A = this chain, B = another copy of it.
Amino acid sequence: MASSYPKGLATRQRLIDSMLALIQLHGYHGTGLNTVLARSGAPKGSLYFHFPEGKTELGIAAVGLAGDQFAELIGSATTTASSPNAVVDALVAELKGILEASDYQAGCPVSSVALDAGSGNEPLREACGQVYDAWVSAVVSYLATFGLEKEQAQPVATSMICLVEGSLILSRAHKSTQPLDAAAGTLKMLMKAVHSEASA
A158 adjacent to B172 (CB under 8 Å): no
The A contact surface, by secondary structure, is: helix
Q: Is A155 interfacial (CB 8 A cutoff)?
A: yes
Other-chain residue from B29, B128, B155, B193 in contact with A116 (beta carbon distance below 8 A): B29
Question: Which B residues touch A128, using CB under 8 A?
Answer: 173
Q: Is A70 interfacial (CB 8 A cutoff)?
A: no
Q: Which of chain A's residues 97-141 have a Cβ closer than 8 Å to chain B?
A: 104-105, 108, 110-112, 114-120, 125, 128-129, 132-133
Chain A residues with a Cβ under 8 A of chain B? 24-30, 104-105, 108, 110-112, 114-120, 125, 128-129, 132-133, 154-156, 158-159, 161-167, 169-170, 172-175, 178-179, 181-183, 185-186, 189-190, 193
Please provide the 3 A-B residue pairs with the shortest distance between their CB atoms, ordered closest to farther.
Answer: A162-B166, A29-B30, A166-B166
